[in-house]
Structure formats: C-alpha cells, structure tokens
Amino acid sequence: MRPAVDREAYGRSAARLAVLGLFLAVAGCRTTTPPPLIPPFTPLPTPKPTPPPTPPKPLPPKAPKTTGKLEVPRLKEWRYIVIHHSGTDSGSAKKFDQFHRNVKHWDSLGYHFVIGNGHGSRDGEIEVGPRWVAQQHGAHTATSGNAYNNYGIGICMVGNFDAKAPTPAQMQAITDLVAYLQDRCKISNRNIKLHRDCKDTRCPGRKFTKEMLLARLPNRASGPSFWSRDSLLLNWLK
Ligand SMILES: [Zn+2]
C-alpha cells in the first residue's frame, strides 16, 4: 500500500509546488524588471565645428639693408613717394649732396634716398640722406603749392634711364625700399609718383615705368587701400 500513499503525497507536493511556482511567477512579474534588451540610447556628443583655419597675417615688408639710418623713431606726415633718375651715368649720395650744396645752394642733398648702379656707389646700394634721418621736407619736385617736396619722399636712382634701364639690383632695391616706406608711412600705390607724373619732365626716363615697379610690389592693387591716407573711407569721414 506504500506506493499509493507515496503517489498521493507526491501528487499533493507537486500541486503545492505548482501553486507556489505560479505565485512566484506572478509575484516575480510584479517586482522584477527584466533587463532591457537594447541599452538606453545615449546620444553621441556633437563634435564642435572646427573653425576654418585663419590665413596667416602677411608679414610687414622687411626693412631693406641701407647705408645710413633707415629706422627713425618719429615719422613726418608723408603722403607721396616720388621717384627720379639722376640722368647721369654714375653718382652717389655724397656726389649729389655736393652738387646740391655747391651748385644749387641748397642746405643738403635734395633726395631722401639714393640707389646706386655700381658706378660711384655699389649696384643696388640704398644710401640714406640727411633729410630722411632728420625727417625734413625734400628738395626734388618743385610744384606750385610744393606738396611733393613737403610731403613726398624723394628717391633718386643713379643712371640715365632714357638710355639704359635700371640694373636688376636697382629694381630689387627700389621695390624693397618702396614696399617698406609704403608700409611704414601708409602710402597707397596711387601716391607712388614718378617725377614726370608731377611736372613737365622726362625724369626718370622712358625705360623706367610705374608699371614695372607696381608689378613687383607685394600690394599690387593700384587703387587706394582702406588704410591709406587718401582712402575713400577717410575722405568721407573728413
Ligand atoms: Zn627727377
């Protein structure tokens, strides 16, 4: 008879276990949160937009090598650069200084700078005159009102450019000097003048043109730039 009792007991135990299991399953449903199958969505951090690379600022033109003092602490209010040739085959600042004192009876060399051609001074040598050192007006382009002498930096290139073009070293020197003076004195390309632009003369000869110089300058635009003294903005504000 034992097996019948056991079967009965077994049946009861199984029923209890089933009830318990059901209870636990229901209770479990209520209390346990199943782990999420897909992890919660975390948005990726938005990458910061990379700013476009800033173009490097153009460096100011390097001061050219000169004979005499080019860097002066205080500048006169210069508005023009006036270019001349000497009309002679040779020359130097000293030679022209003597001529201007002794023959013209001026107090010193009329130009602010002289650029040599290898005859009388070195080829491409930039000599600084006393008028630049003292920031004194020039004596090179007399006109009514004298604007070019009062506000013009006078540069004389040695040579007769009606007969012969400037040497490559002279062209390099005038380019470097003009670019430097433009930057320091804020002079636009428009205010770079040849002597013949200011009065009735052939100086500085037909083999030197303004275009030859402008083509070599870092700031090739021929109009006044915003910073120049004769710029449209400044004129409008006046
Ligand atoms: Zn001249």
Q: Average pLDDT of the chain? A: 85
> What's the chain's length in residues?
238
> For the segment 22-65, what is each residue's pLDDT rounded down to a tens digit?
544 545 545 556 666 666 777 788 888 888 888 777 788 899 99
> For the segment 118-162, what is each residue's pLDDT rounded down to a tens digit?
999 999 999 999 999 999 999 999 999 999 999 999 999 999 999
Residues with CB under 5 A from ligand 1 (ion): 84, 195, 203
Question: Residue 175: how many CA atoms within 13 Å on its side-chain side?
Answer: 17
Which residue intervals of 134-223 are DSSP H helices? 147-151, 168-185, 195-198, 210-214
**What's the CA-to-centroid distance between 141 and ligand 1, angstroms?**
7
**What's the CA-to-centroid distance between 142 and ligand 1, angstroms?**
10
**What's the CA-to-centroid distance between 221 and ligand 1, angstroms?**
25
**What's the CA-to-centroid distance between 140 and ligand 1, angstroms?**
7
Q: Are 203 and 142 in contact (CB under 8 A)?
A: no
**What's the CA-to-centroid distance between 10 and ligand 1, angstroms?**
130
> For the segment 83-108, what is each residue's pLDDT rounded down to a tens digit?
999 999 999 999 999 999 999 999 99
The residue written with tokens 């600084």 in the block is 128
User: How many C-beta atoms surround the C-beta of residue 43 within 10 A?
Assistant: 5
**What's the CA-to-centroid distance between 83 and ligand 1, angstroms?**
7
Dihedral, CA atoms, 37, 38, 40, 43, nearest 10 degrees? 170
Give the rounded percent of residues in the chain with a pLDDT score beyond 90: 65
Measured between alpha carbons, how far is 34 from 22 in angstroms, rounded to an integer?
A: 18
**What's the CA-to-centroid distance between 184 and ligand 1, angstroms?**
23
Give the rounded percent of residues in the chain with a pLDDT score beyond 70: 75
Q: 16 to each of 13, 22, 27, 30, 110, how far by Cα in Å?
A: 5, 10, 16, 21, 125
Whether the predicted model's global pTM rises above the 0.75 cut: no
**What's the CA-to-centroid distance between 201 and ligand 1, angstroms?**
7
CB environment 121-154: b (16+ within 10 A), e (fewer): bbbbbbbbbebbeeeebbbbbeeeeeebbbbbbb
**What's the CA-to-centroid distance between 214 and ligand 1, angstroms?**
19
**What's the CA-to-centroid distance between 175 and ligand 1, angstroms?**
18
**What's the CA-to-centroid distance between 82 and ligand 1, angstroms?**
8
**What's the CA-to-centroid distance between 57 and ligand 1, angstroms?**
36
Q: Among 181, 184, 151, which Cα is nearest to 79's? A: 151
